[in-house]
Amino acid sequence: MKTAKNVKPTPKAATHPTVPPTLPPRTGGGRTAGSLMSTSPVIVAPENSLKEAVRRMVDEDVRHLPVVDAMNCLVGMISDRDVREAVGNPQEFSETTDRDDGDEPTVASVMTRDPVAVTADASVEEVAQTLIAGRFGAVPVVDDKDRLVGIVSYIDVLRAFVPEA
């Protein structure tokens, strides 16, 4: 006969739930680009100097600027990556003195033309897919006439999926 001294203890059941092999898909809760976007993005025009665009990026602490024409139609995008490829460190470039010879590069010379954009009714999942597919940090939001109405960054999308602490 076994006594309590000789019986090996039965392992305790785990007190934490096990993680299922695949997690259920998370959704953005029916949110749209219109509900995520910044409605007053910092913008530039194609004829602005690159230095002016970089100063706006630095002053406003943004990494993406929609480029719009006089009718507020989206004609391009300029990112900090575009700036680094064109002139090096954006901070240093913004602090240099303006050139007197009129040979300053313009936004048009550096911007991405005909950028990918979404409409305000695009789902958060569509926005996320657009950002991932294009390896973008932000995507402009336009109306049916290609007029800029906002911008959605990857941080805006993440906030739709993960509540802020």
Domain residue ranges in the chain: 33-161
Residue 99 is predicted with a pLDDT of 54
| CATH T-level fold of 33-161 | CBS-domain (3.10.580)
Q: What is the pLDDT of residue 95?
A: 72
Instruction: Check residue 162 and give its pLDDT.
Output: 82
Judging by DSSP bridges, how do beta strands 112-113 and 74-79 pair with one another? Answer: antiparallel
For the chain, which residues score pLDDT lower than 50? 1-24, 101, 165
- The pLDDT value recorded for residue 93 is 74
pLDDT at 154: 95
